[in-house]
Amino acid sequence: MVHRDLDAAADRVLSVIACLGIRPYIRYYRPTQRSATKAAEYPKIAEAMAEKLQQKLENYYTRRAANSNNKNKREKSNDISPSVVIVLDRSVDMYAPLLHEFTYQATVHDLIDLEDGCKYTYEINTLAGKTQQASATLSEQSDEIWRQYRHEHICHVAEELVAQFETMVNKNIGVKAAHQP
């Protein structure tokens, strides 16, 4: 999952770089010798991201050079100062978690692997004891909970969903019987 996420993030950064028409140097955070013991505890995400981005940039520039008719005036210009992309991990960037959204929608996208941004596929056990694939689609049209709560803060959503579940259990005798220990 980490490699897929790095690949997606590198694609997004590459899109920005391509739109800006720049050829940046890629730099990343590598802890010094003083903090080497702490660095061993953390995965080398910044380094992996920088390498992935460098690979994608090299492929992009190679394709652009092969297609000489697609030259950008900005790319030909020598008066642009050199750009640098600095890749940091969360051990350095302390403010990023504070800037992140804490809505139901953001939490779902952070925690669940969605296909096409809206379809969740999972396995269920049937009454026959077999495993079967099932899916749920998060959409405004078909999912009342998604429509009602997707822009709400996750704490509020958690309280509301627990209350709704308890109400459903209390109203439905079959669910109430199955839910009791």
pLDDT of 133-158, one tens digit each? 999 898 888 889 999 999 999 999 99
Which pLDDT tens digit goes with each residue over 116-136? 888 999 999 988 889 999 998
What is the reported pLDDT for 35? 55
Q: How far is CA 151 from CA 104, 107, 110, in A?
A: 6, 10, 14
Distance CA 160, CA 156 (A): 6
pTM of the model: 0.52
User: Can you state the angle between helices 104-111 and 154-171, rounded to 10 degrees?
Assistant: 90
Q: How far is CA 127 from CA 77, 124, 134, 163, 172, in A?
A: 68, 10, 14, 29, 21
pLDDT band at 77 (very low <50, low <70, confident <90, very high): very low
